[in-house]
Structure 1
């Protein structure tokens, strides 16, 4: 975007070039993470809102870059909301996007989450309680592994060659903070289907590259998605 300055002297022909800065529109940016929060808790029921939320949840772990699939800090818990529109949108998600739960005793969960997420000034943003265990159940596996059995360059002894060894686990803390830590290749879950096997000095020989995410919803159902690349 170019702006020409009017004036006298050297400033008369000055030309400033501005690089547009994209400022997130929080009124548009936050609902998807609130929807992810609510839809994940209910086991991703079939609805337009939850389909979009799940698609964004999976997109974020698709390389590159690999992002936290739920960015709860973008859902304005304990924030003074301007007007009723944001709260109404979250109530709509909890009431209509999760129809399977609305007639169950557990339906209060969706309402309680919506209240905590979209409540007015002073809303409680503490998610350390058991109602939010489904957030802490999320695990992200980022693995780029290649290992094969061979010998040293002089053929003196057999060794395990590991030219690729990225293996890390992403998880959430008590308040929804996301962090990475190391992962043992032998403790990766079976649903990753890495097809690695012991071979001589290698405890896990083979090639695998992919990102996976797993979760357990509020009702205890386990789910996962794997993206190989």
Structure 2
């Protein structure tokens, strides 16, 4: 089974019994936006390999025959200590594992998704994409 199928199976295999509603205690979440341990060593390279592409691309030909293109792609990535940041990117930098497929010419095309890719601790490539 794929990872998504396994997750679905685990989630719905044994549905939880309804319980009386009790308040959930609030837990303080780390506010400095980085790991609370030192993750700068090579053993944590898999964290820094995670890339999140927020893809927003549109193209169409206007009445005058001009091609209008809009690319608002951004790239999210992790720094040395797990700090997360967004930077400007382009559809040209999106990995080929994405379903993004811009047609030749200026055919009408719209693509919006979140694409995540990574390399695990053994160096194996993985990716997931959600269109919305």
Which residue of structure 2 lines up, in the alignment, with residue 140 of structure 1?
A: 52
Q: Following the alignment from structure 2 to structure 1, what is the Cα–Cα distance between the partners of residues 71 and 124?
A: 31
Give the C-alpha shift of residue 208 in structure 1: 0.6
Q: Secondary structure at the match of 1:186?
A: helix
Assess if the C-alpha contact under 8 Å between 2:71 and 2:90 holds in 1: no
Structure having the higher helix fraction is 1
The runs of at least 4 aligned residues of structure 1 exceeding 6 Å deviation read: none
1:61-102, CA deviations, whole angstroms, 9 ceiling, x for partnerless residues? xxxxxxxxxx764xxx4xxxxxxxxxxxxxxxxxxxxxxxxx
Alpha-carbon RMSD across the aligned residues, in angstroms, is: 2.6
Q: Following the alignment from structure 1 to structure 2, what is the Cα–Cα distance between the partners of residues 137 and 208?
A: 24
Matches within 5 A, 1:171-210: 171-199=77-105, 206-210=109-113
Question: Residues 195 and 129 of structure 1: is their aligned pair in 2 closer, same or farther, counting only changes over 3 Å?
Answer: same
Structure having the higher strand fraction is 2
Matches within 5 A, 1:6-45: 24-26=26-28
Aligned length: 107
Matches within 5 A, 1:35-184: 73=35, 77=36, 125-151=37-63, 155=64, 158-162=65-69, 164-184=70-90
Q: Secondary structure at the match of 2:122?
A: coil
Assess if the C-alpha contact under 8 Å between 1:195 and 1:206 holds in 2: no
Structure 2: where are the runs of 5+ without partners?
1-23
Q: Following the alignment from structure 1 to structure 2, what is the Cα–Cα distance between the partners of residues 136 and 159?
A: 41
Question: TM-score with structure 2 length normalisation?
Answer: 0.68
